[in-house]
Amino acid sequence: MAKFRITKEVEWDAAHRLSKHKGLCANVHGHRYKAAFTLEADKLNDDDMVIDFGPVKNAVKTWIDANWDHATILTRDDEALVNELRDCDFRVWTTQRRVDPTAEVMAAILGTLDWDLPKGVRLHSVKVWETPTASAEYIL
């Protein structure tokens, strides 16, 4: 078990639709998302840190800004809506598998990306909030 953990949080705005949902979430709707990335190491680096927060923020925000920020996040099976939004020059990101972009799925996507971490530093978990009181966590 790791002796040290740090957490870096980032926020972004996006819309999504849960095509399998039986209620209102089957409609396109937006959230102010927040994600917390928890990294761990057995020992501190030469700067007495697990890792500097700055490079973590830059890597995470670069990916999120390029893919999810102010985008509509949909399942790849939502072809008609994906095509319609793209025809209108809207920003759309689709899941690679046939899953809805729930908070659970989004946390897993973020948790399985290659973050190119220094030797000895591991991603422990990613937690994604859709609202201030609703979150899902993916633990590696």
Quote the pLDDT of residue 102. Answer: 97
- What's the pLDDT band for 1 if we cut at 50, 70, 90? low
Rounded to whole angstroms, the Cα distance separating 25 from 75 reads 13
Identify the domain containing residue 126 by its residue range: 4-139
Pairing mode of beta strands 4-16, 72-74: parallel
pLDDT of residue 101: 97
pLDDT for 113: 95
Half-sphere exposure of 84 (CA within 13 A, CB side): 7
78, pLDDT greater than 80: yes
Specify the pLDDT at position 97.
85
Extract the tokens encoding 100.
């809805």
Q: Of 115, 77, 52, whose CA–CA distance to 126 is shortest?
A: 115
Q: 12 CB contacts (<8 Å, ≥6 apart)?
A: 32, 33, 64, 65, 68, 69, 70
Among residues 8, 7, 11, the alpha carbon closest in space to that of 129 is found at 11
Please state the rounded mean pLDDT for residues 1-29: 94
Please state, rounded to an integer, the average pLDDT across all residues of the chain. 96
- DSSP line for 2-36: -SEEEEEEEEEEEEE--TT-SSGGGS-EEEEEEEE
pLDDT at 2: 67
If one counts every other C-beta atom within 10 angstroms of the C-beta of residue 105, the result is 20
Confidence of residue 33 (pLDDT cuts 50, 70, 90): very high
CATH number at residue 42: 3.30.479.10
Provide the whole-model pTM: 0.93
Whether 12 shows a pLDDT value over 70: the answer reads yes
Number of domains in the chain: 1
In the predicted model, what is the mean pLDDT of residues 108-132? 96
